[in-house]
Amino acid sequence: MTSIDALRPDAALRTMLDAQTEAARAVGSALPGIEEAAHRMAETLRNGGTVVYAAAGSSGLMALADACELPGTFGIDPARVRIAMAGGIPTDARMPGHTEDDTAEAEAVAASMTPGDLLIAISASGTTPQALALTRAAQAKGIATVGVANTPGSALLAVADTAIALPTPPEVVEGSTRLGAGTAQKIALNMVSTLAGVLLGHVHDGMMVNLRPDNIKLRARAETIVARIAGVQPDAARTALEATAYDVKPAVLVALGHDPEDARRILDAHGQNLRQALQAETPKTRRA
């Protein structure tokens, strides 16, 4: 393959796009591991544990992106999600490389974890000292671990309880794992966390029924969700949301005639799964 710096700009861009597309395809072989990781994440969050993402460099940025979306998308308590990025989360464009070798920092993170938590360690090479040290230290405490790496057969995949191997092709810029490897990591992490949200009952008919509507756009989205599921007009949906402090799941039941306290009781009785609550409690009026 001709190096991208020897190509015309349009051809270089096509080469980059083709490489990214191929990297995305690499995720297909990891579906069993992704499913297993999603079940582990859902179980951890359902039981009150904490999910800890651990990575360095570009992999750390992929971890950060996924972790920070969980509260807004699925209503996950931010205290139940942590990001252990080697050297800390950057506050500017500097991201020192030597921090990935700091195993003492990794072991300190593991020391703060408890059985019932879940570690998701990400490393393109599968040999990053920080990710490996944290995985081993967590396992020594009986903590479940997920390893995500782009190098099949690497140490991280061998040691983790659940392995997600993403065999991406060589990078178009050699060694720059923010390209193909990062693309595959982001896709895989998105899939793990989204399926976990589904398993937790936070998705109903493809809608985010556990979102936290803390701005105008999301409040409007919450009103649309309640109106569609309950089969009511927007004004009625808004009234139901106001009665539940804009908590979407109980608001659906309120829109169907329950009072807020009863709506929360019903949801608790069905593990916060809205579909099950609707099927059990509102058979005549539900649209689900």
Active site positions, annotated: 69, 100
Helix %, strand %, coil % for the chain, to 5? 55, 10, 30
Please state the three-class secondary structure of 120-185 as a single string: EEEECCCCCHHHHHHHHHHHHCCCEEEEEECCCCCHHHHHCCEEEECCCCCCCCCCCCCCHHHHHH
Q: So what's the pLDDT on residue 104?
A: 85
Q: So what's the pLDDT on residue 285?
A: 46
* Mean pLDDT (10-residue bins), the chain, 288 residues: 88 93 96 98 97 94 95 94 87 73 84 96 94 95 97 96 96 86 96 97 95 93 97 96 96 96 95 92 48
CB 189 within 8 A of CB 62: yes
Residue 82, SS3?
strand
Q: So what's the pLDDT on residue 133?
A: 93
Query: Terminus-to-terminus CA distance in the chain, angstroms?
Result: 52
Q: So what's the pLDDT on residue 283?
A: 45
Whole-angstrom Cα distance, residue 26 to residue 124? 13
State which amino acid sits at residue 221: R
Q: List C-alpha distances in Å: 205 to 81, 143, 208, 270.
A: 26, 33, 9, 17
Q: So what's the pLDDT on residue 286?
A: 43
Q: So what's the pLDDT on residue 287?
A: 42
Structural domains present in the chain: 9-199 (3.40.50.10490), 205-281 (1.10.8.1080)
